[in-house]
Amino acid sequence: MKLVQTILAFLVALGTLVTIHEFGHYLAARLCGVKVLRFSVGMGKVVFSRKFGRDQTEWAISMLPLGGYVKMLDIREQGADQIASEDLPREFCRQSVWKRIFIVAAGPIANFLLAIVLYAGLFLHGIPEPIAKIRVPSVNSIAYQSGLRHGDVILSVSGKLVRSWSDAQWELMQRVLAKKAAEIVVERDSDVMAGNGSHGRVRRVVDLPLQELSVKDVEADFLSKLGLSLARPPAVLGEILKGGRAQAAGLLAGDTILAINNVAVLDGLAFTESVNASPEQALKLHILRGRNEFDVIATPELESVGGSKVGRLKVQMMLAPEMVLVQTDAVESLVKAGQKTWDTSLMSFSMLGKMLSGEVSLKNVTGPLTIADYAGKTSRSGLISYLSFMALISISLGVMNLLPIPVLDGGHLLYYSLEVLTGKPISERFGEIAQRVGLTLLMAIMAVAFFNDIVRLMS
C-alpha cells in the first residue's frame, strides 16, 4: 500500500505542477494573441484528447507522465505553406521579442505563483511546528562554547524573527552559505530567583561563529556540527506493553525516569538511547512516581534490529517535541509566502552556482525517484506536509526551467535576451547546435540525478 500511495502522491504532485507550469505558457500565449494548437499533460504519444474553443485547441493527456507541453502555431514546426494566411499574424515567431519573452517566462512564473498561494494558505491555516528550543549542546561544541545552553529558546537570528525550529534552521543555513556569523537572541531560565519567589525568564545575545563551517557542511547535518539539536520532552513513561521487561520491573505509565545508574537522564531521547545501548544489562532506574522517589532494577531485553543488537524494555515514550502553531493573518501570509518563495529560489540558484564551482557536491542533484519518495512520505504525514512539499517542488521546477540551458525555458530566454541586445534573432544554425548541446547537457544532468536517486534508495 505504501508503494501505491507513493506513486499516486508523486503523480498527483507532478501532474499538478506540470499543468500549472504549462497553463502559464498557455494563458500568456492567449493574452498575446498566439494560436495554441495543443495543451498536453505528459509527453510522447497522445492517449486521450478533446478539442475546445474557437481555435479548437486540443487538450491532451500523453503517455509519459514526466512533463508536458504547449504546442503553439510556429512557422519553424509547421512551415509557412501549412499555415493559413489569416493565422499568420497569430504565429509565435511573428510576435515581438517582448511578447515571446513573456510567453516563455510565464511557465516558471506560474510555478512561483503556485508556491506563494500554497504557502500563503498554509500560513493562514496555521502550521504546527516544533518550537526553537535547544537540546543540551556538548561542552566542546561550537554552540556551547559560544554560550548556548540546554533549554534556550531561539527568538531571532541576525534580526530575523524565529517562530519555530524550521525558522531557526533556515536562518542559520542562510548565514552558513553566506559565511557570516549569526547574532542569536535566546530566552532562558534565569540563574537567580525572581522577586516573586519563582524562576524568571531572561534574554541573552549569543554570537555564533558560523563562518567556521564550510558550505559542504550544509549538505550533511550542519546543526550537529554546531552541536545544536531539538529539545525533547522529559523521560515520562507511556503505555507499558504486556510481557515486556518494563512490566516485569514494576514500572507504570506516568513514571518519570530521573537517572540511570546514578547518571541524570536529560530527556526521553536520552533514556531511549541508554536502554537501546544496554541489552541484557541490569540498569538502576531512579524513578519519580507522584511525590515519591525510589530505585528500580530493569534489564532491557536483547533484540536484533537491522543486524544490530539493541535493548528493549517494551514501553512507549513520548519523544515528540513541544509544538507551536505558526499562524498569520491574510496580508502577512501573502507577504511571508512571497518572501519564503523568493528566499528559497535565491538559495536554489546559489546552491547550483556552488555546485558548478565545486563548493557543493553533485550528490545534491535529485531526480524523480527521490521526489517520488518524498511525495509518499509527506502524503503519509498529512495534508500540510504534502502541500509544503508541493510548494517546494514547484519552486524547484521554476528554478530549473530558468536555467540558461537550450531546450529549457531559460535557454529560450537567453536567445531572446541576445536578440534584444543585438537587434536581430539568433541564426537557425546556431539554434540547432545549441539545442543539441542543451539536450546533451540535460540528459547528463538527468543521468546524475537518477544515479544519485538509486544510491540514496539503496543506502
Q: Tell me which residues are annotated as active site.
A: 22
Return the sign of the alpha-carbon dihedral for residues 85, 91, 94, 95. Answer: positive
Return the sign of the alpha-carbon dihedral for residues 342, 346, 347, 349. Answer: positive
Measured CA to CA, the distance from residue 409 to residue 108 in angstroms comes to 8
Spatial contact of 417 and 440, defined as CB atoms under 8 Å apart: no
Q: What does the block give as the cell for 193?
A: 530567583
Measured CA to CA, the distance from residue 316 to residue 72 in angstroms comes to 60
In sequence order, what are the residues at sequence separation of 6 or more whose Cβ sits closer than 8 angstroms to the Cβ of residue 100?
Answer: 92, 93, 412, 416
Strand (E) positions, 159-279? 160-161, 182-193, 199-208, 237-240, 256-260, 263-264
Measured CA to CA, the distance from residue 406 to residue 437 in angstroms comes to 7
Give me the helix-helix angle, 2-31 and 368-381, nearest 10°.
Answer: 110
Find where cell 515519591 sits: 292
Residue 173 parent element (H or E): helix 165-177
Q: In Å, how far are 68, 117, 213, 362 from 217, measured between CA atoms?
A: 36, 32, 6, 14
Spatial contact of 371 and 10, defined as CB atoms under 8 Å apart: yes
Spatial contact of 435 and 406, defined as CB atoms under 8 Å apart: yes
Measured CA to CA, the distance from residue 14 to residue 6 in angstroms comes to 12
Measured CA to CA, the distance from residue 271 to residue 345 in angstroms comes to 41
> Which DSSP string do the residues of 327-370 spell out, in sequence order?
---HHHHHHHHHHHHHHHHHHHHHHHHHHHHTSS-GGG---HHH
